[in-house]
Structure 1
Amino acid sequence: MSVLKVIAGVLLATAGGSTCAMNSASTTQLGCTVSGGELLPPETGGADALCDAIRAAAQEAGAATAGARVEVRVINAYGAAATVTAPDGRTFPPIEVSISDRPLNRGTIGMLAREIARRLAQPR
């Protein structure tokens, strides 16, 4: 059985990697940067699919995304971490997701995206 963990911890900001800016129907933008995207297993869809999942989850949650930023660092094929900055400049505690017995998959990516969206949807 898989052991899924979401752990808040300390995350150093990283630069570089794939970047995708996302637009919703309401023209709000959510900046999304993925470093280490080449480490994502092919079945996840890669860095662009990760940003798309974050966008979709944020829209579903009704989160304010204009000016928000998400920086995702893929640690290895088994884990990723995200730093989320709200439109008002608040930075939330880092989010880490990992699987102990198999590589990341679309389910794990979805779990990370939903947690990012949940934090962006939090009231001030």
Structure 2
Amino acid sequence: MDSGSTTVPSIVVYVTVPNKEAGKKLAESIIQERLAACVNIVPGIESVYWWDGKVQTDSEELLIIKTRESLLEALTEHVKSNHEYEVPEVISLPITGGSAKYLEWIKSSTRD
């Protein structure tokens, strides 16, 4: 990004949660702390994964979190402190482009 840019390097972070209540509570706390500009809550996902030496299947919800790359560590710690899973999913993907106005909004809606 050029030096005159009004955006910051931004990411999308995926976090799975066990149910709607947990997802809403976590999403609201993330926004309240200004650790993200927006959290989408996607209901009705089914996760199939390896845990405790065998294949597990669970109904979950997915949080899609839009934030600054620089807030990933703080966001990860927040999720770990406020999540019931022993090993909560926190994975980030870079945002490599998109609407400049939306990316500016991510910057202005999050803490430095």
Structures share a fold, TM > 0.5?
no
Greater fraction of residues in strand: 2
Compare relative contact order (CA 8 Å, sep 6+) and give the higher one, 1 or 2. 2
- TM-score if structure 1 supplies the norm length? 0.29
Larger radius of gyration: 2
